[in-house]
Amino acid sequence: MNTNMSGGRRSMPKRKVKTYQQLIQENKEAIMGNPKLMNVIYDRIDRKHQKNLQEQNNT
């Protein structure tokens, strides 16, 4: 049975998933020119760091 006919399942093309750090590296120049975006990134890094500290204190 041919699965490419209508009604059959089609596989989605796979996209490479990038990490947050990879996205920042690739867009570094644009980010550095945008103070609001830099603040968003710093806030996210701060939250992640605080979460890691809390997890270390709980263990």
Rounded to two decimals, the pTM is 0.50
pLDDT-derived band at 54, boundaries 50, 70, 90? very high
Return the percentage of the chain with pLDDT > 70, whole number.
Answer: 81
CB neighbour burial string for 5-25, b if at least 16 within 10 angstroms, e if fewer: eeeeeeeeeeeeeeeeeeeee
Determine, yes or no, domain membership for 13.
Answer: no
Determine, yes or no, domain membership for 43.
Answer: yes
- Domain containing 39 equals 20-58
Determine, yes or no, domain membership for 33.
Answer: yes
Determine, yes or no, domain membership for 5.
Answer: no
| Distance between CA atoms of residues 25 and 8, nearest Å | 40
> pLDDT at position 16, please?
82
Residue 49 identity: H
Count of domains for the chain: 1
| Distance between CA atoms of residues 52 and 40, nearest Å | 19
Determine, yes or no, domain membership for 42.
Answer: yes
Instruction: Check residues 16 and 39 and name the one with the higher pLDDT.
Output: 39
| 5 has pLDDT over 70 | no
pLDDT of 6-28, one tens digit each?
A: 555 667 677 788 888 888 888 88
